[in-house]
Amino acid sequence: MYLDAAKKQEIFGKYGKSNSDTGSAESQIALFSYRIARLTEHMKLNRKDYSTERALTMLVGKRRALLNYLKDRDINRYRAIVQELGLRK
């Protein structure tokens, strides 16, 4: 399994306030970004997997909604997470 409890703890520890900080916007955005990257690699190999394509589209929408929320609430936190994850070019 590509996303086990240890990997989640690592992501939450790196981008959240602690390993158990699963609810902050930054940790959720980082988790979604990890999952999006994995699904994108899967889609490169399996072009006709439409259920995965739909899941990928939904995840991108969830991440975008969280980023919009964070941008409206605290622009500095938004800029920090975007730079740290490399979401903008």
Domains of the chain: 3-83 (1.10.287.10)
Q: Check residue 21 and give its pLDDT.
A: 85
What pLDDT does residue 88 have?
Answer: 83
pLDDT tens for 37-89 read 999 999 999 999 999 999 999 999 999 999 999 999 999 999 999 999 999 85
If one counts every other C-beta atom within 10 angstroms of the C-beta of residue 71, the result is 13
Specify the pTM: 0.92
pLDDT, residue 19, reads 86
Distance of CA 14 to the CA centre of its chain: 13
Between the alpha carbon of residue 49 and those of residues 42, 52, 62, 66, the distances in Å are 9, 6, 20, 26
CB 68 within 8 A of CB 61: no
- The answer to whether residues 33 and 87 touch, using CB atoms and an 8 Å cutoff, is yes
